Chains A and B, each alone.
Chain A
Amino acid sequence: MSQHVPSAAGDWIGPDRFSLSDSLAELWRYPARAWVHRDLVCAWVKREWSARFLGTALGPLWPFVQPLALFAVYAFVFSELFGMRPAAPDASPALGAVWIFAGVLVWTSFAECISRATGAFFENRNLVQKSSFPADLLVLQPILMSFATLAVGAIVFCVISWFLTNTHPGFAQLALLGVLLPLHFAWMLGLSLTLACAQVILRDTASLLGVVLTVWMFATPIFWVADVASLPAIEPWLSWIHANPMHSLIEAWRWTLLGESAAPFAGAALGSDLARFAPWAIGALFVGLCSARAMRGSLSDEVAS
């Protein structure tokens, strides 16, 4: 019977009590659970991937079309219409568009993931109520989906930016993916679990999140440069901007995707972006795991009411 995933059969199961040490243990129990149920998570991602293209003619080409269209729009609007140029005089004009594109890719994958993950428990309430499975793994589906789209986007990005600006990812920065990716994942997982739990209790969460994401997007230097030389008006807000975890995350990705070519825009180095982002990611992960742990025993009751 080794073909079955191991379960807790045989243990006494009593009232679900929340404790902090239990939540801390989730730091390794959650990944362990995900590993044990890897086939289930894979099946969810595969299904979602094909569900997204179910009945479409272009099918798997769509993930490529989306970033291409995005790039075309942003390059036109910001590079041509707004005339945004890098502060450094020797940088190519197309670099501005590529730089924005990199930010848009990361933001889009983040926003898409968070909005989908918010409904991960509530939208699947039928499953949560009627089947016994580790429901907290449900958020992995939108997260892995968003990393998949980010990966596709990154490939498209590298090809475009190489053609247009002759830039390529910095090899030193690529090596730091080993740090960036886990932190990025922790950030998404923590936020997703927190929001998914919040949505179960308060159905306003999803609507509220839509508003917050819009404000957040414009407050994050995606389409503009957090540089006093090119935008003098932002000076009093600089500390706020640097406290924004999405700013650090996007900057880190820009460093990774553009290498040293990002230097004309970016104020700091990749290492300091990662250092600013890490506490956010770890904090979010902890809050998320605590929320999910606290909700586990009553999740199926809460989604019903």
Chain B
Amino acid sequence: MNSSAPGRQLSSVERVALKRESRRNILLCTPAMIVLFFAASGPLLVMLVYSFLTPGDYGGVVYKLSSDGWFRVFFHQDIFDETVSVASAHLSIFWRSIKLSLLTTIAALILGFPTAYFIATRPVKSRNFWLFLVTIPFWTNLLIRTFAIMELIRNRGLVNNVLMKFGVIEQPIQMLYTDFAIMLGMTYVYLPLMILPLYASMEKLDFRLIEAGYDLYANRFRVLRKVIIPLVKPGIVAGSILVFIPSLGAFVTPRVLGGGKNMMLGNLIELQFGQGRNWPLGAALSISLLLIVMVAMLLYVKNMQKNKGEQN
């Protein structure tokens, strides 16, 4: 057997060296761990505690234990006759958030995949230029970019004006303040987060494998399905997570492009901390959002492990 083959046994010296190195690497990431702990776990803990307290009259919380916040996430109690009904408004917002985030992820994947492939197949020198173009939108504030989209798609906006001028349509199409507008905005905002990890895994792709696929009677579509997609799967996964999760909690984009009617979870939560003056409900909604993300990730990891099991 070839001694330089992958998968060979490590010698004891190498093992000790590896162990020592990994110990040192743990030390290197300690500062980041501390920051993450206080910046992420701390606020989360506060949220968890707040969700079980009583709302104060002018916002804030009163330190008195109550399950009212969590109760209101799912149920609605009439102010006058105190009848309890399912909080259908909340549930529909949950559903809309998940639906729009999924659609946004799919749209970003469909748009991002060919873009990343294009960049990865450019000569090495010009790839950085294309990546640079992808990152340009980050230079401007999110709010300004979102208002720019609003300017484009409103009833008297550029798109409608041009379409009417050329007689394609007679009446302006209502695009602003629809789910479509939210999806368009989110896809635009989060597309780079899909392209970059996709590019990272495509760049590592051995293009001779694609030639091998063609050589073995796979046409373009089958090479894509049987060779390229399985090999860049880590990038697809990373990109999808990076787009799906922030979409789920998006707040500026649905606010500006969705108007008051088409709320998403982020807006609902913001409402409770602002005008609603119900911090425990807001906190409970936030924790619910977190739970949705965790369940989605869990399902996903399970699925990955199952796939891996099939492969081995």
Do A and B associate with each other?
no
